[in-house]
Structure 1
Amino acid sequence: MSELEAWYMDESREDQKLPHRLEPNQRVTPRQLEQIGVYHWKLNADIYENDPELQKIREEKGYSYMDIITIHPDKLPDYENKVKMFYEEHLHLDDEIRYILDGSSYFDVRGKDERWIRIAVSKGDLITLPAGIYHRFTVDESNYTTAMRLFVGEPVWKAYNRPADDFDIRKAYVNSLRCSSDA
Structure 2
Amino acid sequence: MRAFYFDNLQGDQRLLHDSGRSVSDEVLKSIGVLHWHIPTDQQSQIDAVAEERNYKNRDVITITKEGLGDLYETKLKGFYEEHMHEDEEIRYILEGSGFFDVRDHPTDSWIRVHLEAGDLLVLPAGIYHRFTLDEKNVIKAMRLFKDEPKWIPYNRDGATDANPYRIDYMKTLTVN
* TM-score normalised to structure 2 length: 0.95
What is the aligned partner in structure 2 of residue 84 from structure 1? Answer: 77
4+ long deviations beyond 6 Å: none
CA distance in 2, matches of 1:89, 1:138: 11
Paired residues for 1:17-36 under 5 Å: 17-22=14-19, 25-36=20-31
Q: What is the aligned counterpart of 1:99 among 92, 99, 106?
A: 92
1:129 shift after superposition: 0.2
Structure 2 SS opposite 1:46: coil
Q: Which has the higher strand share?
A: 2
What is the aligned partner in structure 2 of residue 58 from structure 1? Answer: 50
CA distance in 1, matches of 2:168, 2:46: 28
Q: What is the aligned counterpart of 1:159 among 150, 153, 170?
A: 153
Do 1:132 and 1:170's aligned partners in 2 also have CA atoms closer than 8 Å?
yes
CA distance in 2, matches of 1:99, 1:79: 21
Q: Could you list the per-position Cα deviations for residues 119-174 of structure 1 after superposition, in whole angstroms to 9, with x for gaps in the alignment?
A: 00000000000000000000000001100011001122110001110101101111
Which residues of structure 1 form unaligned runs of 5+? none
Do 1:46 and 1:101's aligned partners in 2 also have CA atoms closer than 8 Å?
no
Q: What is the aligned counterpart of 1:7 among 4, 7, 23?
A: 4
1:52 shift after superposition: 1.6
CA distance in 1, matches of 2:165, 2:46: 27
Structure 1 SS opposite 2:67: coil
Whichever residue aligns with residue 175 of structure 1, its letter is K
CA distance in 1, matches of 2:94, 2:37: 11
* TM-score normalised to structure 1 length: 0.91
Which residues of structure 2 form unaligned runs of 5+? none
Whichever residue aligns with residue 45 of structure 2, its letter is E
Do 1:97 and 1:127's aligned partners in 2 also have CA atoms closer than 8 Å?
yes
Identical amino acids, percent of aligned pairs: 47
1:13 shift after superposition: 2.0
What is the aligned partner in structure 2 of residue 119 from structure 1? Answer: 113
Structure 2 SS opposite 1:81: helix
CA distance in 2, matches of 1:143, 1:46: 23
Q: What is the aligned counterpart of 1:143 among 130, 137, 158?
A: 137
1:104 shift after superposition: 0.5
